[in-house]
């Protein structure tokens, strides 16, 4: 049974402390505490991160309501190698009061604000908990309302709950003593982050949070920062992975505690984190903290790109064989346009295999003759070989196998990078031929083609070329700008003109549409 609010202020209960709320906390604020604190069988942990919190840690523990003490399974104080006696005091408090639910741990060396959180979350994940609440040991966030922080997760309303000081329920941040410069900085950063991430939070920078640990298990902490902007990075990852975030109002309190955050550095780090995330998602550069979101060959949304032309050439309501489909990002777009897609790639399984009618894993170096029998005589209206041939030692084998997969009236659509592009020519003029992570000189490329040599290869393998175009250089990836940026749209149009006039020089990729000569008169 949870204890009713009337128990507040009574003598010490088993495995709890005397409840001593902060001055000004009205009983009305806690009227629903017994109901909200009910864990409904969930294993709830409270992670209290501390650093030099000697004068505040006891008060923080005493401000936790008896209902919360009753319903949580463990309250863990993680001391981040404090230079004062925070750890000794917390251990002494546990010993003297025999608090079985209180656990005190100390990092051998200072891990930083983010590092201490990562250690704490992993601690609760390893123990099989369902929910963890982050509470600061300096008393800046009200322990009295812990139940309000974790209840939305209990109720299945959210995967993460953030306390917001910007909501007006407790009078707002300025009334609570937040300095005007911090209030202004908080509002500006939150506005920028909302715009960049497509969120609508009132505050990004509160450290009072609850997480569904089943969601945190799917977050890669490996390369995330140990600094204060860890809180921003975790919001970014929750948003990217489509977890539900909810905000609840919390009071603002600024006391005499020492602030270890350098405001200007923190602001720079927050902006940098958002920038690095966006650049990684656009596949401009793989930043380690967001590396799992990097796509080696992303779908190009810009006009006159290879994917732009392929979408037009495939159309809709076609049977499509996507050879070298990768994770299936393009296949997903083609299926969305009403096409029926079958995929083949070397991957054991494709991430978007569910949207394909069938997926086959095959070593493309050996061609697809081992897959063809499984097609049971099925022929395709469109066979795609996009950015595939340059990765093979013997692309001729795969090309010839396509005769057995394409319908006599169907088309094979091929794209290869143009090694005679002006950028490569200029590098050669300067005596450079440096491989890169991707692009024309991708280090995984085994064959290099000009417009003429690619055309010859296709024709020698028994195809008649019925269409050809050259794509523009993807400057948006180089500059890290959105294809929808007005400057990029203008640049793209100019490049398209030059590419059409001089495809062998300005073309980034050459796209061929070919028909099999086999069976043709």
Residue 297, in any domain of the structure: no
- Residue 44 backbone dihedrals phi, psi, to 5 degrees: -110, 130
| pTM recorded for the entire structure | 0.74
Q: CB of 80 within 8 A of CB of 116?
A: yes
Distances (CA, A) of 415 to 22, 476, 502: 68, 20, 18
Residue 246 and residue 314 in one domain: no
Q: CB of 246 within 8 A of CB of 161?
A: yes
Q: CB of 193 within 8 A of CB of 204?
A: yes
Residue 340 and residue 470 in one domain: yes
Residue 13, in any domain of the structure: no
Mean pLDDT of 423-433: 93
Report residue 24 as tokens: 């000004």
Residue 483 and residue 377 in one domain: yes
Residue 337 and residue 398 in one domain: yes
What is the reported pLDDT for 49? 97
Question: 81's torsion region: left (phi>0), alpha (psi -120 to 50) or beta?
Answer: left
HEC states along 200-213? CCCCCCCCCEEEEH
Q: Which residue has the higher pLDDT, 9 or 270?
A: 270
What is the reported pLDDT for 26? 67
Residue 298, in any domain of the structure: no
Asked which of 220, 241, 258 is the last residue of a domain, the reply is 258
What is the reported pLDDT for 319? 95
Query: What distance lies between CA 368 and its chain's CA centroid?
Result: 34
Residue 248 and residue 315 in one domain: no
> Is residue 9 over pLDDT 50?
no
E runs forming strands in 418-471: 463-470
8 pLDDT band, cuts 50/70/90, is very low
Asked which of 258, 287, 322 is the last residue of a domain, the reply is 258
Find the range with the poorest average confidence among 77-86, 242-251, 326-335.
326-335
Asked which of 258, 273, 290 is the last residue of a domain, the reply is 258
What is the reported pLDDT for 28? 63
Q: What is the pLDDT of residues 165-207, one digit of tens each?
A: 999 888 888 887 888 988 999 999 999 999 999 999 999 999 9
Residue 368 and residue 428 in one domain: yes
Return d(Cα 10, Cα 323) in angstroms, integer.
72
Residue 252 and residue 311 in one domain: no
Residue 384 and residue 505 in one domain: yes
* Cα three-residue angle 299-284-387, rounded to 5 degrees: 40
Residue 301, in any domain of the structure: no
Q: What is the pLDDT of residues 146-166, one digit of tens each?
A: 999 999 999 999 999 999 999
Count CA atoms closer than 13 A to 258's CA, side-chain side: 8
* Domain tally, the chain: 2
Return d(Cα 286, Cα 367) in angstroms, integer.
31
Residue 349 and residue 234 in one domain: no
Burial category of 249 from C-beta neighbours within 10 Å (exposed 0-12, middle 13-18, buried 19 and up): middle
Q: H-type helices in 282-394, by residue range?
A: 306-314, 329-336
Query: What distance lies between CA 77 and its chain's CA centroid?
Result: 29
E runs forming strands in 294-435: 319-323, 340-345, 358-361, 380-386, 406-417
Mean pLDDT of 111-135: 97
Q: What is the pLDDT of residues 48-65, one digit of tens each?
A: 999 999 999 999 999 999
Q: CB of 350 within 8 A of CB of 324?
A: no
Residue 195 and residue 325 in one domain: no
Residue-averaged pLDDT of the chain: 90
Return d(Cα 58, Cα 95) in angstroms, integer.
13
What is the reported pLDDT for 521? 52
Q: Which residues contact 439 (CB under 8 A, 6 or more apart)?
A: 417
Residue 328 and residue 249 in one domain: no
Q: What is the pLDDT of residues 334-386, one digit of tens each?
A: 999 999 999 999 888 877 778 899 999 999 999 999 999 998 889 999 999 99
What is the reported pLDDT for 257? 58
Residue 180, in any domain of the structure: yes
Report residue 179 as tokens: 């300095």
Residue 21, in any domain of the structure: no
Say which CATH number the domain at 234 has: 3.90.550.10
Mean pLDDT of 67-84: 96
Closest CA to 440 of 456, 452, 422: 422
Element (H, E) at 92: helix 86-97
Q: What is the pLDDT of residues 89-103, one digit of tens each?
A: 999 999 888 899 999
Query: What distance lies between CA 410 and its chain's CA centroid?
Result: 39
Give me the domain span that covers residue 466. 306-516
What is the reported pLDDT for 221? 96
Residue 406, in any domain of the structure: yes
Residue 521, in any domain of the structure: no
State percent of the chain over pLDDT 70.
94
State percent of the chain over pLDDT 90.
71
Q: What is the pLDDT of residues 212-269, one digit of tens each?
A: 999 999 999 999 999 999 999 999 999 999 999 999 999 988 766 556 667 789 999 9
Q: What is the pLDDT of residues 462-493, one digit of tens each?
A: 999 999 999 999 887 777 677 778 888 888 89
Mean pLDDT of 326-341: 91
Say which CATH number the domain at 317 has: 3.40.50.150
End-to-end CA distance of the chain: 86
Q: Can you tell me which residue has the tokens 């095959």?
A: 362
Residue 99 and residue 243 in one domain: yes
> Is residue 120 over pLDDT 70?
yes
In three-state secondary structure terms, 111 is: coil
């Amino acid at each position: 049974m949870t204890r009713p609010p009337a128990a507040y202020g009574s003598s010490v209960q088993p495995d709890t402390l005397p409840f001593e709320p902060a001055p000004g906390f009205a009983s009305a604020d806690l009227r629903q505490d017994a109901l909200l604190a009910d864990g409904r069988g969930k294993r709830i942990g409270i992670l209290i991160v501390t650093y030099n919190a000697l004068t505040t840690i006891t008060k923080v523990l005493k401000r936790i309501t008896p209902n919360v003490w009753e319903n949580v399974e463990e309250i863990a104080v993680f001391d981040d190698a404090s230079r004062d006696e925070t750890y000794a005091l917390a251990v002494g408090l546990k010993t003297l009061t025999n608090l079985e639910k209180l656990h005190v741990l100390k990092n051998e060396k200072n891990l930083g604000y983010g590092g201490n959180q990562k250690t704490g979350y992993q601690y609760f994940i390893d123990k099989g908990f369902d929910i963890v609440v982050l509470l600061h040991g300096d008393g800046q966030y009200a322990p009295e309302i812990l139940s309000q922080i974790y209840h939305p997760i209990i109720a299945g309303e959210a995967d993460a709950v953030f306390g917001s000081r910007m909501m007006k329920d407790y009078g707002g941040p300025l009334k609570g003593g937040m300095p005007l410069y911090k209030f202004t900085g908080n509002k500006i950063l939150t506005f920028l982050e909302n715009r960049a991430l497509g969120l609508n939070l009132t505050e990004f920078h509160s450290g009072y949070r609850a997480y569904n640990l089943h969601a945190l298990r799917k977050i890669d902490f490996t390369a995330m920062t140990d600094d204060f902007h860890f809180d921003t990075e975790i919001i970014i990852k929750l948003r990217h992975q489509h977890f539900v975030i909810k905000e609840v109002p919390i009071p603002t309190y600024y006391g005499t505690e020492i602030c270890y955050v350098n405001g200007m550095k923190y602001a720079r780090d927050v902006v940098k984190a958002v920038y690095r995330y966006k650049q990684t998602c656009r596949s401009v550069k793989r930043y380690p903290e967001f590396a799992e979101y990097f796509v080696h060959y992303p779908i190009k949304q810009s006009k006159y790109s290879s994917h732009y032309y392929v979408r037009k050439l495939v159309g809709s309501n076609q049977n499509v064989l996507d050879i070298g489909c990768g994770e299936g990002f393009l296949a997903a777009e083609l299926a969305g346009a009403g096409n029926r897609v079958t995929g083949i790639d070397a991957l054991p399984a494709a991430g978007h295999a569910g949207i394909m009618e069938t997926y086959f894993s095959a070593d493309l170096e050996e061609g697809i003759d081992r897959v063809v029998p499984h097609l049971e005589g099925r022929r395709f209206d469109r066979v795609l070989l996009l950015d595939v041939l340059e990765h093979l030692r013997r692309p001729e084998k795969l090309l010839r196998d396509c005769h057995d997969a394409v319908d006599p009236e169907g088309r094979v659509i091929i794209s290869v990078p143009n090694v005679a592009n002006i950028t490569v020519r200029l590098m050669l003029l300067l005596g450079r031929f440096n491989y890169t992570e991707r692009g024309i000189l991708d280090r995984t490329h085994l064959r290099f083609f000009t417009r003429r040599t690619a055309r010859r290869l296709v024709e020698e393998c028994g195809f008649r070329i019925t269409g050809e175009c050259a794509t523009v250089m993807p400057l948006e990836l180089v500059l890290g700008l959105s294809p929808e940026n007005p400057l990029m749209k203008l640049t793209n149009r100019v490049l398209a003109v030059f590419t059409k006039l001089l495809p062998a020089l300005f073309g980034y990729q050459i796209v061929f549409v070919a028909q099999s000569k086999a069976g043709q008169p």
